[in-house]
Amino acid sequence: MKSFRNPISPYDAPDPFLTWDPVTGYYYALFTRGSVLELFRSRHAASICTGGDSRVIYTPNGPRDGIWGELWAPEMHRGSNGRWYIYTSGRMRQEPGEKRLFIMEAETDDPMGPWRFKGKPSPDVFSIDPTVWTAPDGKQYLCCSRVDRGQVLDIVELENPWTFGTRRAMIARAEYDWELVPPYTGNAAINEGAFFVDTPERLFIVYSGNGCWSDRYCLGALEYTGGDRCDPDRLCDPANWRKHGKPLFEMGNGVFGPGHASFFRSPDGTELWCAYHGMKEHNETVTPAPRYFNIQKVSFDETGFPVLGEPAGPGRDLIPPSGEDPD
């Protein structure tokens, strides 16, 4: 593929997650698909929604596993034991109600193979949008959005890929004007859709502010300032997370409400890319509207801070990630 244009999905594909697996040589993607978990794969990032294949790997079975539907924002990460895991959330009752995190485990090293329901790590806490980071010592941490007078971000140590450890802390709440755009104020203030971005020098959590159907949905950044990245007490101390005062990424170039980002490395490892959703039109009524899958390359400034610039809108030709098979 010589070039491509955003969006890369011709249909509604909110909360996109995209990763490259060097073992299989495929990209894998997940996004919100209603009441199923559907895993997509392709040799090329830009054709993940149109030129590859997909498989429904899980359909909720309330009487058996306690999940009734509304599966939001799934992500797939390798666990500390080397297996693949999918982290997501679902509705706990047959009627509309609170959502809980749950985890799926791959039965083989092939993500397109069978999966099994692994469990709910925090069955009593209303949480969504889980993401996972692996520290240099192999220990893993999960960040999610929890309901607490709005939506806040928590970091949690993992005892193993499906079990929470003892350390947990709230590290972010919406506080700046740009992440409190009306009507998302007070009890409706939102921080959600977190994803870890680390470099040899710095560790960030990129998150989304405002409501996901708002034009002003945008990305912000938290930064870890606690020093040792292998110290769970420091990582789970809210004093060691600093929120940057300006948004990282906002609407522009015909993309409205860009957010709920994930980040992935190019096949040759030299580039960092961002996957995010955005609307094609101004959404004045702030009601549910299609959100499309977009990708673009990330750069860094002289201090090592991630730079996304403006959304790479539909009229711009983009070069695929470095190291992709050209065929």
pLDDT at 1: 59
pLDDT at 80: 94
Asked whether 165 and 157 are in contact (CB, 8 A), the reply is yes
**247-265 average pLDDT score:** 98
Burial 53-65 (b: 16+ CB within 10 A, else e): ebeebbebeeeee
**57-77 average pLDDT score:** 95
From first CA to last CA, the distance across the chain in angstroms is 6
CA distances from 204 to 225, 242, 273, 285 (A): 9, 9, 15, 33
What is the percent of the chain where pLDDT is above 90?
A: 91
Q: Which stretches of 172-260 are DSSP H helices? A: 232-235
| pLDDT, tens only, 192-215 | 999 999 999 999 999 999 999 999
Measured from the Cβ of residue 6, the count of other Cβ atoms closer than 10 Å reads: 23
Structure tokens at 55: 């498989």
Q: Which residues contact residue 250 at a Cβ distance below 8 angstroms, ignoring those fewer than 6 apart?
A: 178, 216, 218, 219, 258
What strands lie across the sheet with 241-243, from one edge to the other? 191-198, 203-209, 218-224, 241-243
| pLDDT, tens only, 7-26 | 999 999 999 999 999 999 99
Q: Strand 26-30 vs strand 17-21: parallel, antiparallel, or unpaired? A: antiparallel
d(CA 218, CA 292): 15
d(CA 242, CA 205): 10
Question: Positive or negative, the Cα torsion across 232, 237, 239, 243?
Answer: positive
d(CA 152, CA 148): 6
**125-140 average pLDDT score:** 97
pLDDT at 110: 96
d(CA 151, CA 149): 7
| pLDDT, tens only, 99-124 | 999 999 999 999 999 999 999 999 89
Assign residue 274 a region: left if phi > 0, alpha if psi is -120 to 50, beta otherwise?
A: beta
**Residue 229 pLDDT grade (very low, low, confident, very high; cuts 50, 70, 90):** very high
